[in-house]
Structure 1
Amino acid sequence: MSDYNITDLLSPAFLERMQKMLGDEYEDFIKSYEAPRTYGLRVNTAKISCEEFEKIVPFPVTPIPWIPNGYFYPGDVRPSFCPLYQAGLYYLQEPSAMTPASCLPVTPGENILDLCAAPGGKATALGAMLNGSGLLVANDISSSRTRALLRNIELFGIANAFVTNETPAHLKNRFPEFFHKILLDAPCSGEGMFRKEDALARDWTPEKSEELSVLQKELILQAADMLRPGGQLLYSTCTFAPKEDEGVVSYLLENRPDMKLIELPAYEGFTPGVPAWGNGDPALSRCVHLFPHKMQGEGHFMALLRKEGRTDLIGQFSYAKPNPDTRKWLELFFQEIGLKTLGGQAFDWNRVETRKDKVYYLPPVTGDFRGLTFLRNGLYLGDLKKNRFEPSEPFALALRKDDADGIISLSVNDQRLTRYLKGETLNIEPTEAAHTKGWHLLCVEGYPLGFGKLVGQTFKNKYPAGWRV
């Protein structure tokens, strides 16, 4: 529980505005700051079902009512130290922040854009919904934050992604009316996160919303211009400020008349948008506010919009011819680990590309992507060494349960998993390994964690230094 007085911490201008906005609910809103914050995680359903997750998770979880694959967990638990987290089976995310991605109806095979994606909470949710089919473009303008985004995309095992570090203006010029679905979780004043981050509350000023709304209006127009006819755009913020919420949506409706607000799913605690907080358009009531005095979470705002017209799924693809030497060494490695599928799908050799001895598996999509600043174009499979192929950690995490036969699977409570994640050599009993020697995929409860080489009963750790716990 917080040890400060909320009225001392928060700006009087903020409190006055919230009182005008909430009326009789204001006192309940203020009291919500006295309650302990909530902690949540979202299951990666591209890798594991919620039913199976509940069977193997070693700490208590409770379903989040409005998130199909979301769970609360106690504040004294540290889920990031659990091997299931390192296997990419769940993402740690504040419950209300999970809501926007869960409300965007993604269909496998679509082109999806997360425009302001770092550190990856919403992008990983969208990528999991694609389940290996179609394309996810996860973009952020900050190069430092994009590195964290890439790590989370790789941890979640999303093979069909471009991770880009571009200005939205440049993306708009390269991808006019390209995406079926777009999520714009815009930079905002963060009023919904005050209970979580004191610094946001202390730094708040009335002018901040004015400044940010200018940026948000620019971003939402750029997002709309990248949306295909018939496509859907979900705009969200983690603030209560009307100028950043209904005000920005009003601006879009006025400047892009082909964009129409559509209904969001209804859940207990969701508060409708207020037309008077925007330009008075009655359709603004289709927006949704999440207030902490009405739900077990912090604060968020959402608006779902559709561009008039018709959209179709991706058509046929064409690829460059794979490098024959690359295929030779990859096939030998695949035979050694008994690879059957990648992400539950047949391996497509036409999607393999070699760049300076590094091997990539490209997303199933065509287009001219030259000139874009990428941190990653597709899945990094590994490196071609002298007369061999060395697999990468992202490749291991892109594999699903039962994708390969050459595995060593340990219980979630086996202490050797913690030692593996620290980079240590392990002792493996003969009955635990698929083969007597060579490359194996180390798994937790059958779910891939990383690669290693077995020599007798010694498992030589290949978990990369930059990933170690």
Structure 2
Amino acid sequence: MALINQDFIDSITQDMPAHLSMDDFIQYSSRPLRASIRVNTLKISSANFIELMQPKGWTLESIPWCSDGFWISLDSEVQLGNTIEHLQGLFYIQEASSMLPPTALFSQLNETANVTILDMASAPGSKTTQLAALMNNSGLLIANEYSSSRVKVLHANVQRMGVTNTALTHFDARVFGEYLYDTFDAILLDAPCSGEGTIRKDPSALKNWSLKSSQAIVATQKALIESAFLALKTGGTLVYSTCALSRFENQEVCQHLQAIYPDAVEFESLSDLFIDADKACTEEGFLHVWPQIYDSEGFFVAKIRKTAAIDRQVPEPRKQKNFPFNQVSTKTDLELRAYFQDTFAIELPSQSLIMEREQEFWLFPQKINSLIGRMRFQRIGMKIADALKHGLKAQHQAILAFGAGASMIELSQAQATEYLMGRDIPLEAGHKPRGEVIVSYHNSPLGLAKHLGKRLKNSLPRELVRDKIVNSDASNAQ
């Protein structure tokens, strides 16, 4: 049962549109949130995923604002996060409302193939991986996270989903306007907020709500949106979103930006973003989603166009030196590509840079070159291989990202479960040893193994070994 204190009700009543009722808000806030997932189109199409999962008892209902998002219902209890399909990155468990900001960012984006995008507050990675999928792993996506512990979670999710066009940063996002002024074609600012819209997921979210504590975060939100606007190119698009419900964390933050730059800020209406979007649309064209409108979490989304140039506020910072990576020689580049092709039938993307650091080989998005030295990055692109004494050793995450369509050994569900629990897979007698191989499930890579003839020796990284894997077949779930 949701715990909503009277102070919150008194405050939010002033912000609720006349056509909505507080009784409905309280009623919906007390209902369990509908489970929802987003299919990872970097690995599988939505149509193929549905075809795969429907026989297992998964009922998927389309989410109107995300072509690859679905509300999911199962015949019995299945822990989605412990299914093989989740661990191999075929889908992301994501609340339906949180799929709105990336959808809004990409609606009417002039060019999607080679854009540079910033996600200012990225962890745990639901919107980052959605953006990467919408970009089809092209261009460059800078994913920033302020919390150091959450950067690790973000990195793990980016790798699981096969995202290769990202560079991760770990900063207070207020620095982007200074360090990467006039750089990005599009920016998503899913701002830190009071979280009032999350009550259906967290019934105690509003138990200790106070007007003072909610208003305290507004100064940060205003500083972040100013920084985002400075980092945006003229003509670029900024989406500002929160899971808060109050006007002062939402509409008023956007209006604050417009008051500073009246000749450069244009609000773009989201009333036609999807069927029935107008039911949540404000006068300004923002989406102010209340839980009772779409039976979802509460959310706010604003789309802002930068229509005129803004002068830089501070001098350009000095370039940073001592970048630890160097581009590999043409010979090494060819050797690495040949290794992946000959060993696994994997063709590495031709438009990416192969970089080297201390016997490690990394694949960088090509567009990162122009940003090197302007900001410090936690992780760029993806580590693909290590140099050994006698040859090369492919990395697990590279196999997950590029292994689709490669030469693979398909495992049964029971074998895939054993593999993800770190165990070797026995084989029938009579097989010749084949060395390094890719093992798959649903014809999608699970990872590497060493084919020894009588068994597949497990090469899953230790940190990814799971104690428990659940059957995704709802009819057989415990």
TM-score range, shorter chain: 0.7 to 0.9
- Cα distance 1:354–1:162, how it changes in 2: closer, same or farther (>3 A)? same
> Which residue of 1 is the match for residue 22 of structure 2?
26
**1:164 maps onto 2:158 in alignment:** no
SS in 2 for 1:68: strand
- Cα distance 1:219–1:271, how it changes in 2: closer, same or farther (>3 A)? farther
SS in 2 for 1:196: coil
> Which residue of 1 is the match for residue 205 of structure 2?
200
CA drift at 1:371? 6.4
SS in 2 for 1:253: helix
SS in 1 for 2:378: strand
CA drift at 1:201? 1.7
1:150 corresponds, among 146, 155, 162, to 155
Q: Larger relative contact order (C-alpha < 8 A, sep ≥ 6)?
A: 2
**1:461 maps onto 2:464 in alignment:** no
Distance, in Å, in 2 between the alignment partners of 1:468 and 1:347 is: 32
TM superposition score normalised by structure 2: 0.86
Distance, in Å, in 2 between the alignment partners of 1:159 and 1:243 is: 37
2:340 corresponds, among 330, 334, 338, to 334
* Identical amino acids, percent of aligned pairs: 30
Amino acid at match of 1:15: I
**1:447 maps onto 2:448 in alignment:** no
Distance, in Å, in 1 between the alignment partners of 2:439 and 2:24 is: 50
Distance, in Å, in 2 between the alignment partners of 1:59 and 1:392 is: 34
Cα shift readout 1:205-253 (whole Å, capped 9, x = no counterpart): 1112211111000000100111111111110000101100001010011
Amino acid at match of 1:415: A
Question: Does structure 1 conserve the Cα–Cα contact (< 8 Å) formed by 2:179 and 2:374?
Answer: no
> Which residue of 2 is the match for residue 108 of structure 1?
113
2:31 corresponds, among 28, 35, 59, to 35
**1:380 maps onto 2:386 in alignment:** no
2:4 corresponds, among 1, 6, 10, to 10
SS in 1 for 2:185: strand
1:355 corresponds, among 354, 357, 363, to 357
Amino acid at match of 1:96: S
CA drift at 1:62? 2.3
Gaps of 5+ in 2: 310-324, 467-478
Structure 1 vs Structure 2 CA RMSD = 2.3
Amino acid at match of 1:101: P
> Which residue of 1 is the match for residue 91 of structure 2?
90
CA drift at 1:41? 0.5
Distance, in Å, in 1 between the alignment partners of 2:233 and 2:21 is: 40
TM superposition score normalised by structure 1: 0.87
- Cα distance 1:291–1:429, how it changes in 2: closer, same or farther (>3 A)? farther
Cα shift readout 1:334-379 (whole Å, capped 9, x = no counterpart): 244333424xxx435x711111111100101121423634331111
Count of aligned residue pairs for this structure pair: 436
- Cα distance 1:206–1:321, how it changes in 2: closer, same or farther (>3 A)? closer
> Which residue of 2 is the match for residue 220 of structure 1?
225
Amino acid at match of 1:49: S
SS in 1 for 2:445: strand
Gaps of 5+ in 1: 275-283, 311-318
1:211 corresponds, among 208, 216, 225, to 216
1:263 corresponds, among 269, 273, 278, to 269
- Cα distance 1:30–1:333, how it changes in 2: closer, same or farther (>3 A)? same
CA drift at 1:118? 0.7
**1:397 maps onto 2:400 in alignment:** yes
> Which residue of 1 is the match for residue 473 of structure 2?
none
Of 196-205 and 243-252, deviating more is 196-205
CA drift at 1:428? 3.7
> Which residue of 2 is the match for residue 427 of structure 1?
426
SS in 2 for 1:104: helix
> Which residue of 2 is the match for residue 314 of structure 1?
none
SS in 1 for 2:217: helix
> Which residue of 1 is the match for residue 298 of structure 2?
299
